[in-house]
Amino acid sequence: DQQVKQNSPSLSVQEGRISILNCDYTNSMFDYFLWYKKYPAEGPTFLISISSIKDKNEDGRFTVFLNKSAKHLSLHIVPSQPGDSAVYFCAAIHISSGSARQLTFGSGTQLTVLP
């Protein structure tokens, strides 16, 4: 049973437009959420995160929105650039549990930004 789901395996957008990547989770104990970006032949790199006490976190062109009641988060990239083309992984963690920090990852969304 996947606790973190990314239902869109791929997404294509035009350069300069908005990219919206979605993620759903089922475990209500998750209280911290992260997005990672992965280029081919490289390891994932941390992009942005959000705590469950917030509903929005912004960092430059990247904004993450959290809707706890719907157990849904989204990553907005505005404006999208060709260099943003990568696989994006959503991840979640129960950070206040006091146990080891085990991230649960979604299956990823391949974003392609067309010039």
Please choose, from the candidates 34, 38, 43, 6, the residue with its C-alpha nearest in 3D space to the C-alpha of residue 21: 6
Q: Which is nearer to another protein, 83 or 101 (CB)?
A: 101
The footprint of another protein on residues 90-109 (CB under 8 A) is: 91, 93, 95, 100-103, 105-108
Strand order in the sheet with 19-25: 4-5, 19-25, 72-77, 62-67, 56-59
State yes or no: residue 86 binds another protein (CB under 8 A).
no
Contact map string, positions 31 to 70, toward another protein, x by CB under 8 A: -x-x-x----xxxxxx--x---------------------
CA-to-CA dists, residue 89 to 17, 33, 105, angstroms: 20, 11, 7
In the block, residue with structure tokens 């010039």: 115
- The CA distance from 78 to 53, in Å, is 24
Work out how close the CB of 77 gets to another protein at its nearest, in angstroms, rounded to a whole number.
19
Touching another protein, residues 5-24 (CB under 8 A): 6, 9
Which residues sit at the interface with another protein, rule CB under 8 A? 4, 6, 9, 32, 34, 36, 41-46, 49, 89, 91, 93, 95, 100-103, 105-108
